[in-house]
């Protein structure tokens, strides 16, 4: 099957059957649920999910509860400005950090749909399902997984065509980047390390992680590719790997200046060449999969291969924000999303900025 057909098959892995007065939605576990009307009080336990649903709806309405970490990203990023009603959405739906469901709090919100990671397993999903709630499992890891749950969200929201357009736009952008970097030889791919955490431990993204996919798509070599999808490593291992580029994730507070000043990192090529970058924060964090992932790909491809990528990041950001949110970004807002003050001292970043 050609890849373009394959990704759209994945996008509709939630199989939709229309009947009089009802819509059948098959989630990413293969479980079928019937909806008489679009969900009006959906709950999202996975962190990236609420902002994606907002993009599909172009509104914060229809969300009764979301992960507290999702609200933090909205508060610290631009989505809180676009959809200020986010602050009224309940965030007490988990048991502490993570995605374990607080069933009692969720029931009190009277939801008509609950989204949870399918990989959480029956122990996590069954307590919700035993209450009679409609629980939809989402899969995480690949672009195909994301395409599937975007399509599923679109059907639950009553906006399947918009969800399919989002999936199609991402696929078009992916193809454009693949074509631009098709001639990059293996020895020309910089050794890239993504750090989900670096303040108290070093947590990296290995094989079958979304960050691995992003790094490879953007023309890099994930130096942690032989490790599990998420694992903790020592500084000694990082020194052995000697990455040429380091990406700092948005689930931590560490900035490039912290690594530049850390004596332990002075022997790392990425520090010596000033190629440590904090990943942007737009409508959601740009390191995990989201409605803005195409912008992550463009941003990283531009940093790794500025002479080949050939896609204007700032123009792309304006186009994507108009499509996703109906919002016209200012130059100052783009620079804020790109962490201009924090990244300006890193190599090649000035050309992405205007201030």
Q: Domains of the chain: which residue ranges?
A: 3-173, 183-352
**pLDDT (average), residues 147-168:** 97
**pLDDT (average), residues 78-87:** 97
pLDDT tier, 1 (very low <50, low <70, confident <90, very high otherwise) = very low
**pLDDT (average), residues 332-351:** 97
- Domain 3-173 identical in fold to domain 183-352: yes
What's the CA gap between 241 and 143, in Å, rounded?
27
What's the CA gap between 140 and 49, in Å, rounded?
11
Mean pLDDT over each residue of the chain, to the nearest integer: 93
pLDDT tier, 21 (very low <50, low <70, confident <90, very high otherwise) = low
What's the CA gap between 180 and 141, in Å, rounded?
24
What's the CA gap between 201 and 299, in Å, rounded?
26
pLDDT at 343: 98
28 alpha carbon, distance to own chain's centre: 18
Taking the model in full, what pTM does it have?
0.92
Pairing status of strand 113-117 against strand 42-44: parallel
Q: What is the 3-state secondary structure (H, E, C) of the chain?
A: CCHHHHHHHHHCCCCEEEECCEEEEECCCCCEEEECCCCCCEEECCCCHHHHHHHHHCCCCCEEEECHHHHHHHHHCCHHHHCHHHHHCECCCECCCCCCECHHHHHHCCCCEEEEEHHHCHHHHHHHHCCCCCEEEECCCCHHHHHHHHHHHHHHHCCHHHHHHHHHHHHHHHHHHHHHCCCCCHHHCCEEEEEEECCCCEEEECCCCHHHHHHHHCCCEECCCCCCCEEEECHHHHHHHCCCEEEECCCCCCCHHHHHHCHHHCCCHHHHCCCEEECCECCCECCCCCCCHHHHHHHHHHHHCCCCCCCCHHHHHHHHHHHHHCCCCCHHHHHHHCCHHHHCCCCCCHHHCCC
Residue 355 has pLDDT above 60, yes or no: no
Name every residue whose Cβ is closer than 8 Å to that of residue 290 and which is 6 or more positions away in sequence.
48, 51, 52, 283, 284
What's the CA gap between 30 and 271, in Å, rounded?
46
pLDDT tier, 20 (very low <50, low <70, confident <90, very high otherwise) = very low
Share of the chain above pLDDT 90, in %: 90
State whether CATH 2.30.290.10 applies to domain 3-173. Answer: no
Comparison of pLDDT for 152 and 15, the residue scoring more? 152
Q: What angle is formed at CA 140 by the lines to CA 134 and CA 142, rounded to 5 degrees?
A: 135
Q: What is the pLDDT of residues 209-238, one digit of tens each?
A: 999 999 999 999 999 999 999 999 999 999
**pLDDT (average), residues 181-185:** 95
Written as six digits, the tokens of 226 are 């032989």
Contact 23, 35 (CB under 8 A): yes
**Which residue's entry shows tokens 């989204």?**
115
State whether CATH 3.90.1640.30 applies to domain 183-352. Answer: no
pLDDT tier, 3 (very low <50, low <70, confident <90, very high otherwise) = very low
**pLDDT (average), residues 137-158:** 95
Residue 342 has pLDDT above 80, yes or no: yes
What's the CA gap between 46 and 99, in Å, rounded?
6
What's the CA gap between 202 and 193, in Å, rounded?
11
Q: What angle is formed at CA 272 by the lines to CA 335 and CA 197, rounded to 5 degrees?
A: 60
Q: Would you call 15 exposed, middle or buried from its count of C-beta atoms within 10 A (0-12, 13-18, 19+)? A: middle
Sheet strand arrangement including 63-66: 63-66, 42-44, 113-117, 135-138
Residue 12 has pLDDT above 80, yes or no: no
Residue 353 has pLDDT above 60, yes or no: yes
């Amino acid at each position: 099957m050609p890849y373009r057909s394959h990704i759209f098959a994945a996008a509709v892995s939630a199989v939709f059957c229309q009947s009089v007065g009802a819509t059948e939605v098959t989630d990413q576990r293969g479980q079928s649920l019937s909806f008489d009307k679009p969900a009006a009080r959906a709950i999202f336990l996975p962190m990236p999910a609420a902002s994606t649903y907002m993009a599909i709806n172009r509104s914060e309405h229809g969300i009764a509860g979301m992960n507290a970490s999702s609200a933090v990203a909205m508060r610290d990023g631009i989505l809180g400005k676009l959809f200020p009603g986010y602050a009224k959405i309940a965030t007490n739906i988990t048991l502490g950090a993570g995605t374990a469901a607080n069933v009692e709090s969720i029931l009190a919100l009277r939801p008509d749909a609950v989204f949870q990671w399918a990989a959480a397993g029956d122990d996590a999903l069954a307590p919700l399902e035993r209450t009679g709630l409609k629980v939809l499992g989402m899969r995480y890891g690949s672009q195909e997984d994301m395409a599937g749950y975007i399509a599923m969200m679109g059907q639950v929201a009553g906006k399947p065509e918009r969800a399919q357009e989002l999936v199609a736009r991402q696929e078009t952008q992916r193809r454009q980047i693949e074509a631009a970097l098709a001639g990059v030889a293996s020895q020309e791919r910089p050794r890239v390390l993504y750090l989900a955490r670096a303040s108290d431990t070093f947590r990296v993204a290995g094989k079958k992680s979304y960050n691995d996919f992003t790094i490879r798509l953007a023309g890099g070599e994930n130096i942690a590719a032989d490790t599990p999808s998420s694992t903790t490593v020592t500084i000694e291992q990082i020194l052995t790997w000697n990455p040429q580029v380091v990406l700092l994730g948005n689930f931590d507070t560490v900035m490039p200046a912290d690594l530049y000043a850390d004596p332990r990192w002075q022997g790392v090529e990425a520090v010596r060449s000033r190629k440590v970058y904090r990943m942007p924060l737009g409508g959601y964090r740009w390191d995990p999969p989201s409605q803005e992932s195409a912008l992550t790909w463009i941003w990283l491809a531009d940093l790794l291969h500025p002479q080949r990528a050939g896609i204007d990041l700032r123009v792309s950001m304006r186009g994507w924000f108009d499509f996703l949110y109906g919002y016209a970004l200012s130059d100052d807002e783009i620079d804020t999303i790109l962490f201009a003050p924090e990244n300006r001292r890193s190599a090649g970043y000035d050309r992405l900025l205007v201030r």
